[in-house]
Amino acid sequence: MEALATFYETYQSTIAYVGLNALLALSVYTTLSCGQLALGGAGFAAIGAYASALLTLRAGWPFPAVLLAAVVLPALVAVPLGLPVLRLRGVFLAIATIAFGEVVRLGIVNWDYVSGAEGLVGIPQKTGVWMIYLALALALFVLGRLRGSRWGLALEAIREDEPAARTMGIPVARYKLAMLVAGAALAGLAGALEAHFTFMVAPSGFGFEKVVHMLVFAVVGGSLVHWGPVLGAALLTLLPEILREVAPRVGLEPGPLRQLVNGVVLLLVILFLPRGLASLPLRGRARRARWVES
């Protein structure tokens, strides 16, 4: 029991980051689940993080109210963003949302009230690891309930063939907007939880790299089922911890080695397992089913 406590002490921040990254990965998943590649997640996380930090530091709101605001505010921003942007197709949606994220980041850099590029420091640590996992569990529960429901089937129909879904009378635009808003809320919540875990927020933490990481978690884990992104986030957050041990033995620095492994994993997954690691058990089942039939 004591060993367990020591283990938890040592790896507390890693455990927290697995949860935070899983929330961020789910925020990419929400739009991917209806076939849309929206990459504004870092911008929404920044809005959530900064709003929460300001409400705690300058307004002294209680933490539950702060978290609620960090969920609601990005969601409200997502509506006017989504209305024009979601008309764009494929790569163009990705580019427009990347531009949105950069505008948010650069806006923060140029905003003196939040001390620009230096960021806000001295945020009290109010996030418990249990809160992160409670949020994750709630998100997974809701997304899990969607599968097979009328709503979930509509999303699948949009993902597989958008014009056909529209022809069948599915209000495509409304579903896409709803998922963008849900993703923004999740990213904002993750941003607020992280800000109150690490004592600080800075715009450099919400750049293009951040959203690339979020996307990589979701793609490597797989966006076909809701637990895929969580799997991807867990795996890719724990991997650097393991690599830090391995790196000296293969004569590489941990930084480049981590980058190399991330890149290779992503490449292998997109080439050979386009539906992500979570599709492995499904594949096995399909093969067994075929075998039984023959």
Q: Which residues contact 42 (CB under 8 A, 6 or more apart)?
A: 101, 104, 105, 187, 206, 207, 208, 210, 211, 214
List the one residue from 59, 65, 106, 282 that touches other proteins (CB under 8 A): 106
List the one residue from 256, 281, 282, 286 that touches other proteins (CB under 8 A): 256
> What is the nearest approach in angstroms of other proteins to the Cβ of residue 260?
4
The answer to the question of residue 91 lying near other proteins (CB under 8 A) is yes
Question: Token match 């999740």: residue?
Answer: 186
- CB count within 10 Å of CB 106 equals 13
The answer to the question of residue 224 lying near other proteins (CB under 8 A) is no
What Å distances lie between residue 212 and 14, 38, 209, CA to CA?
20, 11, 5
Closer of 66 and 98 to other proteins (Cβ): 98
Q: Phi and psi (nearest 5°) for 120?
A: -100, 135
Closer of 80 and 122 to other proteins (Cβ): 80
The answer to the question of residue 250 lying near other proteins (CB under 8 A) is no
List the one residue from 85, 136, 184, 230 that touches other proteins (CB under 8 A): 85
Strand partners, 120: 201
The answer to the question of residue 94 lying near other proteins (CB under 8 A) is yes
With contact defined as beta carbons under 8 Å apart, do 220 and 214 qualify?
Answer: no
Q: Phi and psi (nearest 5°) for 89?
A: -105, 145
The answer to the question of residue 252 lying near other proteins (CB under 8 A) is yes
Residues of this chain that bind other proteins (CB under 8 A): 35, 37, 84-85, 87-92, 94-96, 98-100, 102-103, 106-107, 109-110, 116-117, 162-163, 208, 212, 215-216, 219, 252-253, 255-257, 259-260, 262-264, 266-267, 270-271, 274
